[in-house]
Amino acid sequence: MEKLIITAAICGAEVLKEHNPAVPYTVAEIVREAKSAYDAGASIIHLHVRYDDGTPTQNKARFKECIDAIKAATPDIIIMPSTGGAVGMTNDERLQPTELDIEMATLDCGTCNFGGDDVFTNTENTIKYFGQRMIERGIKPELEVFDKSMIEMALRLHKKGFINKPLHFDFVMGVNGGIGGDLRDFVFMRGSIPPDATYTVAGIGRYEFPLAMASIIDGGHVRVGFEDNVYLSKGTLAKSNGELVAKVVRMAKELGREIASPAEARQILGMNS
């Protein structure tokens, strides 16, 4: 079985210090959380950025400042900026980090209701536009899928030439408006991707660690982090993203699964070809 790639989604666009005081806003805080995750065993940092007051932004200069600072602290880490941004941002605003020298980025593959009047919009033309940009820039997309229909969209656009192989999916499960986070849902999503594709599972809230366990057993990969869940266990706030990563490492070791380094992650994901 392949080694386990652990992605740390260290801050997201919505979670606040009110939810957990360790949620990072400033550049220094983002570096602290990225390093804690890397030191614990993460090989990929999924990166949103904030202004110092916590406001989410896709500003290219802010991304560059954060990426440069993370790379200075952890030179070999894979940094995967978000092109999701936050609800209400334009396509070109969301794409700003792809103008930087990055090797990987997220590519959301469908529209999702996020609660109330919030709609995370990704039309077919948006997905094509983002996919083409990543092909042109040599950026590997992580295909963010919140439901099976989004897998179908990604596969169809791959056939049309907007997404290159090897395909790598991120099953975002348990989010409001998307597929649930039960084992049956994981089996459904897992059985819906091609046999030569790789995948990561991001369980939201209470689904984070049960789905991590399922993915570890199945041979998939795992995403944890404050973007998805701020608790180490029920009622106990995690002190850092590193604590969440370390819990996955312990789970993997109990199941005999080794942890991938960033170099090994690049090889598994076909980023060295």
Q: Which residues of the chain have pLDDT under 50?
A: none
Report pLDDT for 85.
83
Report pLDDT for 248.
98
Report pLDDT for 114.
85
Report pLDDT for 7.
98
H or E stretch covering 121 = none
**Third-level CATH fold of 6-268:** TIM Barrel (3.20.20)
Integer distance in angstroms from the first to the last C-alpha of the chain? 21
Among 201, 196, 219, 221, which residue's Cα sits nearest to residue 211? Answer: 201
Report pLDDT for 162.
98
Quote the tokens at residue 111.
Answer: 């529209």
Report pLDDT for 256.
96
Among 10, 16, 51, which residue's Cα sits nearest to residue 31? Answer: 10
Q: Are 82 and 48 in contact (CB under 8 A)?
A: yes
Report pLDDT for 118.
87
Domain spans in the chain, listed from the N-terminal domain onward: 6-268
Exposure on the CB side of residue 174, measured as CA atoms within 13 A: 20
CA pair distance 79, 203, nearest whole angstrom: 20
Global confidence as pTM: 0.97
Report pLDDT for 247.
98
Exposure on the CB side of residue 11, measured as CA atoms within 13 A: 34
Report pLDDT for 115.
82
